[in-house]
Amino acid sequence: MSLFVFLTVVQAIVAAALVGVILMQRSEGGGLGVGGGGSPGGLMSARGAADFLTRTTKILAIAFVSLSIILAAVAVDATSSRAIDDTLDRTAIPVQTVPGQVPAVGADGVPAAPVQNDDPLAGVAQ
């Protein structure tokens, strides 16, 4: 289970980084809006920043999808190793009797459970 928690934390960090990188980009593809100084082919030019952010977005997106698939596989392995849960056991509970009292026996020889009628309209003729 610790692997699942570790991968979940890594997934959250990758998701936060992906959101941050996407928000830094301009909608027209200009990236950071950095212009002016520096050489036109340099990293801090508008084109260089856009290329860097685009590559970073691609890498983070691939990491996010890969981690999602791995987390799904780890979750299936973690939950499939359990035994069948039989807490809804439907075996009959024996009837409790007061000492000295003989329990009522049905036609099949099985002690009959006391009938409890909670319906307030049970005795009313319709």
Q: 59 pLDDT exceeds 50?
A: yes
Q: Which two tokens stand for residue 101?
A: 């009292």
pLDDT at 28 over 70: no
**Alpha carbon distance 30, 28 (integer Å):** 6
- Mind listing the pLDDT tens digit for each residue in 70-126? 999 988 877 665 666 667 766 766 766 666 666 566 666 666 665 555 666 655 655
Average pLDDT of span 49-61: 89
Question: CA 36 to CA 75: how far, in whole Å?
Answer: 50
What's the pTM?
0.50
Is the distance from CB of 111 to CB of 101 less than 8 angstroms?
A: no
* pLDDT the model gives residue 77: 75
Q: What is the pLDDT of residue 16?
A: 96
- Coil, strand or helix: which one is 99? coil
Instruction: Name the residue with tokens 């849960």.
Output: 85
CA 54 to chain centre: 31
